[in-house]
Amino acid sequence: MIDLKEVNKIYPNGVHAINAMNLHIDSGEFVYVIGSTGSGKSTLIKLLNAEEVPDGGTINVDGVSVGSLKHRQVPGYRRRIGCVFQDYRLLPNMTVYENVAFALEVVGMSRKKIRQRVAEVLDLVGLSEKSRSYPDELSGGQQQRVTIARAIANKPSLLIADEPTGNLDPEMSQEILHLLEKINETYGTTVIMATHDQNLVDAFKKRTLILEGGYIVHDFPKGGYKSISLFNQPQNVCEVPQDAYRAINTEDLEKLKEMDAPIVPDQSAQPLLKEDGIPQEVRLDEDIHPLRSDEQEDA
Ligand SMILES: Nc1ncnc2c1ncn2[C@@H]1O[C@H](COP(=O)(O)OP(=O)(O)OP(=O)(O)O)[C@@H](O)[C@H]1O
Ligand SMILES: [Mg+2]
């Protein structure tokens, strides 16, 4: 379904956002892309939906060489994939029905078929009752469900989502994940989702890619990823594109072994965890806090 070979993306300002990336995703997979801010998640998504063009390497999506699409071929390609973003991007002057129908009008579907299909997808996302509402009459979670309905209306084989739960509370985020899971399982739609939401990644187990500095530093198979603070701290991840993490004390080693992560012992690195297993960054906050109150007393 998706094949990236030695893909590079360098923005005009010189930032190497994606580096020598190789990635294969099978049809029907559900894959999270996680990693710290600036690690390249959105750039990867934009390369997949042809919003950005790679500077090197090849990107193949469902038989299409995405990197070499001509300008005029891009809209046709985009209609074959579904996209969902953090900021819903619904047309404010159209009703829920019209927003979804619009996506089908542009592909030339007949009115009758459009009516059937819109009813179907609105039912799937649980919004049949809201078909006459305008976006600003809906909650954030409902708006995102309309976006998902629109994205899948044309039965795409690939659905890509960049932080789809970024503006939602935990309960609504879970609803969105249930929905994406349902789409993935019911239609076999391949789903790729960039996210910051550790709770979702922990709750809905999927294949999980960790990006850092434009490299895939880890690729956990479904169910293989267990979040612990180690993975949230970029300084603990090797900068080289090796499938490995640094570990220096026995506790770290034990934790990494539990996760089946390949280990590169590095005696020069700082301990990741204190003796009681509390991550360094938590201790750091505690240390800093009294200092702040001292300063206030002096003032
Ligand atoms: N249009 C652009 N022009 C120049 N640099 C960019 C552009 N877009 C992104 N970058 C840079 O490329 C790198 C990767 O950015 P990207 O948006 O892919 O990260 P991200 O993982 O999605 O981050 P976040 O979690 O904050 O959304 C960052 O260093 C970013 O500053
Ligand atoms: Mg992003």
Q: Which residues line ligand 1 (CB under 6 A)?
A: 11, 13, 15, 17, 35, 37-43, 196
Where in the sequence of the chain do the CATH 3.40.50.300 domains occur?
1-80+156-226
CA of 80 to the centre of ligand 1 (A): 25
CA of 232 to the centre of ligand 1 (A): 18
Sheet holding 81-85, edge to edge: 81-85, 158-162, 190-194, 30-34, 207-212, 215-220
Q: For 10-29, give the DSSP string.
A: E-TTS-EEEEEEEEEE-TT-
Burial group, residue 79, by CB count within 10 angstroms (0-12, 13-18, 19+): middle
- How far, in Å, CA of 288 to CA of 202, rounded? 30
| 35 Cα nearest atom in ligand 1 | 21
**Residue type at 107?**
V
CA of 86 to the centre of ligand 2 (A): 9
The answer to whether the CB of 248 falls within 8 A of the CB of 271 is yes
Structure tokens at 238: 């090797």
Q: What does R_g of the chain's alpha carbons equal in angstroms?
A: 22
Higher-scoring residue by pLDDT: 223, 184:
184
User: Tens of pLDDT along 247-296?
Assistant: 334 455 455 556 555 444 333 344 444 444 444 433 333 333 333 333 34
User: Tens of pLDDT along 32-47?
Assistant: 999 999 999 999 999 9
| 52 Cα nearest atom in ligand 1 | 1
Q: Best of 18, 33, 39, 210 to mutate for ligand 1, by most ligand atoms within 8 A of CB?
A: 39
User: Tens of pLDDT along 85-132?
Assistant: 999 889 999 999 999 999 999 888 999 999 999 999 999 999 999 999
3-state DSSP helix/strand/coil % of the chain, to nearest 5: 40, 25, 35
Fold of 1-80+156-226: Rossmann fold (3.40.50)
| DSSP structural state of residue 183 | H
Measured from the alpha carbon of residue 211, the closest ligand is 1
